[in-house]
Amino acid sequence: MLHTGEKQVSGGGSIRGIGIGLRSQHYREILENLPSVPWFEVLTDNYLGEGGQPLVYLERVRAEYPVTFHGVGMSLGSCEPLNLDYLGKVKAFAQRIQPAWISDHLCWSASGGHYSHDLLPLPYTKEAIRHMATRIAQAQDVLGCRLVVENVSSYVSFADSEMSEWEFLVAVVEQADCDILLDINNIYVSACNHGFDAEHYLNAIPKQRDRAMHLAGYEDQGTHLLDTHGLPVHEPVWRLYEKALRRLDQVPTLIEWDTDIPPFHCLLQEADKARYMFEKTSGLPA
């Protein structure tokens, strides 16, 4: 973990209520209008190059708002050694920006030096739990902070799986001693694609591990649901979110939109809906 005198990598700012994913299309509007958004989620991998204009904008946003980091590059489930070069870059970036937390996914995306753009699921076995938990613990040690891991949506399952996805997720985070970023849309997409009950998933999540939630839009492809993050949150996902708020603590929630990025006011409208659910289920302002 952190060595004496080393700069802290996370814990910067208080994260509460409904945040929005920070996208380059909205930098100027955010900085000019300083909208009433309690926090922004930053896509870590977009800022790991050398300097550049995006980093200048991000530092200006960070001067006004707390942020969290969300990455896709740790490939925590891969079989090859952790990419220490990548983790070093994430750590240096975090020391500079001071996010409230750093998250990545419960998946693998690299093998034999090749990186996939997909976040691929693992077989849900005891062996994979040990493997994943060991690598998360190693990554936490390198970064010097607790990690938050997100459940991914999936389109295939493994004949070798010995348990449900939620049993796997809970066992991994308990063994690794990390937290969960619960993506409600991903639960719904996977529940439809694999035919399980999304509420069983919610009921298995330990409250004390649930650090945050994600909301996003999927696309109905006829044969399956595809997690595109390019549409408003669908009605069944709002209903599941309401159940999650009642079942779990009212943790910070993010509106996540990655493709066909709409004008910023559309994201504010989605955040308003989430805030309404927050208040409806808690009786307290978000």
Binders of Fe ion among residues 253 to 282 (CB under 5 A) are: 256
Instruction: Return the number of the residue (78 or 186) whose C-beta is nearest Fe ion.
Output: 186
Residue span binding Fe ion (CB under 5 A) among the ranges 43-51, 114-122, 182-190, 217-225: 182-190
CA–CA separation, 122 vs 247, rounded Å?
27
Instruction: Return the number of the residue (37 or 125) whose C-beta is nearest Fe ion.
Output: 37
Residue 201 Cβ, how far from Fe ion at the closest point, in Å? 14
Q: Report which of 80, 134, 127, 85 is spatially closest to residue 108, judged by C-alpha positions.
A: 80
Residue 166 Cβ, how far from Fe ion at the closest point, in Å? 16
> Nearest residue by C-beta to Fe ion?
214
Residue span binding Fe ion (CB under 5 A) among the ranges 47-55, 111-119, 139-147, 179-187: 179-187
285 CB-contact burial (10 Å; exposed 0-12 / middle 13-18 / buried 19+): exposed
In sequence order, what are the beta bridge partners of 148?
103, 179
CA–CA separation, 88 vs 245, rounded Å?
35
**228-257 footprint of Fe ion as x/- string (CB under 5 A):** ----------------------------x-
CA–CA separation, 154 vs 169, rounded Å?
14
Q: Where are the alpha helices (DSSP H) in 103-232?
A: 126-143, 165-176, 184-194, 198-204
- Among residues 105, 135, 211, 214, the one that binds Fe ion under rule CB under 5 A: 214
Count of Cβ atoms closer than 10 Å to residue 220 Cβ: 12
Count of Cβ atoms closer than 10 Å to residue 123 Cβ: 15
CA–CA separation, 177 vs 192, rounded Å?
29
Residue 214 Cβ, how far from Fe ion at the closest point, in Å? 3
Amino acid residing at 168: F
8 A C-beta contact, residue 24 and residue 57:
yes
Let me know how many helices (H) and strands (E) the chain has, helices first: 9, 12
In sequence order, what are the beta bridge partners of 253?
18, 213
Instruction: Return the number of the residue (141 or 168) whose C-beta is nearest Fe ion.
Output: 168
Instruction: Return the number of the residue (62 or 70) whose C-beta is nearest Fe ion.
Output: 70
Residue 96 Cβ, how far from Fe ion at the closest point, in Å? 24
77 CB-contact burial (10 Å; exposed 0-12 / middle 13-18 / buried 19+): buried
Residue 150 Cβ, how far from Fe ion at the closest point, in Å? 5
Size of the site for Fe ion (CB under 5 A): 3
Instruction: Return the number of the residue (84 or 261) whose C-beta is nearest Fe ion.
Output: 261
CA–CA separation, 248 vs 269, rounded Å?
24
Residue 183 found at the interface with Fe ion (CB under 5 A): yes
Residue 183 Cβ, how far from Fe ion at the closest point, in Å? 4
**31-60 footprint of Fe ion as x/- string (CB under 5 A):** ------------------------------
Instruction: Return the number of the residue (97 or 189) whose C-beta is nearest Fe ion.
Output: 189
Residue 83 Cβ, how far from Fe ion at the closest point, in Å? 21
Residue 256 Cβ, how far from Fe ion at the closest point, in Å? 5
Q: Using CB under 5 A as the criterion, which residues of the chain lie in contact with Fe ion when the complex forms?
A: 183, 214, 256
